[in-house]
Amino acid sequence: MIDVRKIHKFKECPEKALISKDLKSVDYCDSYMITKNTDDSIDKITTKLFNSPSWGDKLMHMRDYFVGRFGLKTGKRENPNQADYYPIGSKANIFTVIDRNENEIVMAEDDKHLYFRTAVMKKETDQETEIYLSTIVKFHNVWGKIYFLPH
């Protein structure tokens, strides 16, 4: 279990992150960081971060039920892809990998209402590993703004 007091929130992505290449103009950006003693690969960290509990899957099924009525994409969560290595073009859980290196995996899911990118990045320090989960969003239209209003 992660101690939520040790989660740090930032309003920008980590410096030199691959996900930042797309940051010319975005409507929303955040990044969360924890420190952990781990020698896990970025692929294994990504798998762990996106392996949701059953209650999280139920919430996503509810989301899919409602947004599907508006013609938005819904996830196929019955068999999320989990692998030891996520090449560009593959699915990491439910998101498509669009860029990566040995320390970061950038994933995307675009729809008619918004442009969505999320990334998992690790940075080795002298004592621990910093693990970042970053998100950037660009709205395509008013529906993107409405969809993202609760955030």
Bridge partners of residue 81, in order along the sequence:
93
In angstroms, the CA 18 to CA 89 distance is 16
114 phi and psi, to 5 degrees?
-160, 160
Domain ranges of the chain: 6-148
Asked whether residue 57 carries a pLDDT value surpassing 60, the answer given is no
For the ranges 6-10, 16-20, 56-60, the lowest mean pLDDT is seen at: 56-60
* Cβ-proximal residues to 4 (8 Å cutoff; 6+ apart), any chain: none
pTM: 0.78
State the pLDDT at residue 5: 62
- Kindly list the strands in the beta sheet with 28-36, ordered across the sheet, starting from the edge strand earlier in the chain: 8-10, 28-36, 129-139, 114-124, 104-108, 95-101, 91-92
